[in-house]
Structure 1
Amino acid sequence: METKSHHVFLLQLVIIGCWVCCVCLAQIPIPSRMDGFVYGRKSPAWGETVVVEAFFDPVCPDSRDAWPVLRKAVEHYGSRVSVVVHLFPLP
């Protein structure tokens, strides 16, 4: 004859199992390709240059004001820096 504690243990085990399954299935996979675009090169030179990742909102005035400065830095440092631009619209 099964006891009440045995039923509680099985119920807890089922709840934990369901939670683990939901968490494992809810994970976002690693994208197959990099989002954003590389400015000034065909691809970033990972390991060979300093890679700057910039997150820009296309309609943000601060992003608009920072863009010329970033372009000037890329032109100045040339082959020693790679810039990956991610378009990141803010609410």
Structure 2
Amino acid sequence: MSPGGVTTTVGAPAESTEDDYFQACRAAKTWMQQQGGDPRSLIEPYLATVQRGGPVGAGDFAKPWAELTPGQQSGVIVAVEAAADDLCG
């Protein structure tokens, strides 16, 4: 958990389908592009948006953060980091 109260790591291996991962990555990348600036600096703000239930589309596997399993939460975090590194494909 970050000092701002955002979960940035989960002690579980990432679990997601290829489609879920791609959609989460693309949603994060789109959000980051709309914000502008350094994508790496936007990881935590994006995760904060997802975790409080903000409108991020497929970025959260279409479930509230609290309903995701730890593996799915980890999968979202991995997808967001990939988006920041422009690795969505």
Q: TM-score, normalised by structure 1?
A: 0.29
Larger radius of gyration: 1
Higher share of residues assigned strand: 1
Q: Comparing both chains, which one has the higher relative contact order based on Cα–Cα distances under 8 Å and sequence gaps of 6 or more?
A: 2
Q: TM-score, normalised by structure 2?
A: 0.29
